[in-house]
Amino acid sequence: MKKHNFIYLAIFVMLLTSCAVRKPSGDNGATLVGKHWQLVELNAEAVPAKVNGKMPFLKLDEENGRYSASGGCNGIGGEYTLQKNNGITFSRGMSTMMACADMRVENGLRTLFDEADTYTVTENTLILSKGKEGAALAKFVLVADQSDKLAGTWELDYIMESADFAQLYSSRKPTITFDMAENKVSGNSSCNNFSGSVKIEGQAISFGPLMSTKMACPGDGERVFFKNIERVTGFDVQNESLTMLMDDIVVMRWKKK
């Protein structure tokens, strides 16, 4: 019986350890995860703000111990582990296999995740290197959080796949209101009211699930609205204009009310 108890205890300790290693460790761990980092330098060479029309980036999800990244083409992902004294390791997972015009940054990122074992965070800069005294393999800068600019109500003035916006929403334009304190949205699809949750990480955004009232609606405006808001993966706010994107494609554009 004692032998069995010892085995159970050992398994329990191993499980706790395996769960704990992906949590932030050291002074910088909490400033590393849960943020959106833009790649600006790779192997001592500057990286353009956009590669193949997309921003190269790295994100580390604290909740499930996974990372996601892109060199401007395919999505790259897998698991990461934080260790003592600012150690970090990456393991590869599944990724898409699309061919793009410029693959240099993406290929460099794949090599980076095989080699990097140390991280440093200073203010808004993340550096990945091999060994504490090794040269920087990659440098990232924190993507500014624009979520506070979303607060309030916006009215739609452009939507993808609409040849005649004025006709599609001749009676009423859709609106959306962001409650950033609760991470909630509400609004009107041009016919029914809707509400639901919103998740924002840097300039990445996703909605849902969205609930709506069930009034019968004339025309095709509501269907087009819900179809396109499900496509949204990113956003940008400039002055009184909110642009919602699917990668680098403009899906919706809104004006502040």
How high is the pLDDT of residue 14? 41
The CA-based dihedral angle spanning residues 211, 216, 220, 224, taken in that order and rounded to the nearest 10 degrees:
0
Domain 147-256 in this protein, CATH class: mainly beta
| Domain over 21-142 is classified CATH 3.90.320.10 | no
Task: List the chain domain ranges.
Answer: 21-142, 147-256
Cβ contacts of 42-45, under 8 Å, gap ≥ 24: 42/105, 42/108, 42/109, 42/112, 42/137, 42/138, 42/139, 43/108, 43/137, 43/138, 44/135, 44/136
> Which residue positions in the chain have pLDDT lower than 50?
1-27
How high is the pLDDT of residue 54? 82
Q: Evaluate whether 70 touches 76 at the Cβ level (below 8 Å).
A: yes
Q: Mean pLDDT over all residues of the chain?
A: 86
Question: What are the backbone angles phi and psi of residue 60, rounded to the nearest 5°?
Answer: -120, 120
How high is the pLDDT of residue 6? 41
Provide the pairing of β-strand 136-142 with 125-129.
antiparallel
Question: What are the backbone angles phi and psi of residue 250, rounded to the nearest 5°?
Answer: -75, 120
d(CA 230, CA 244): 11
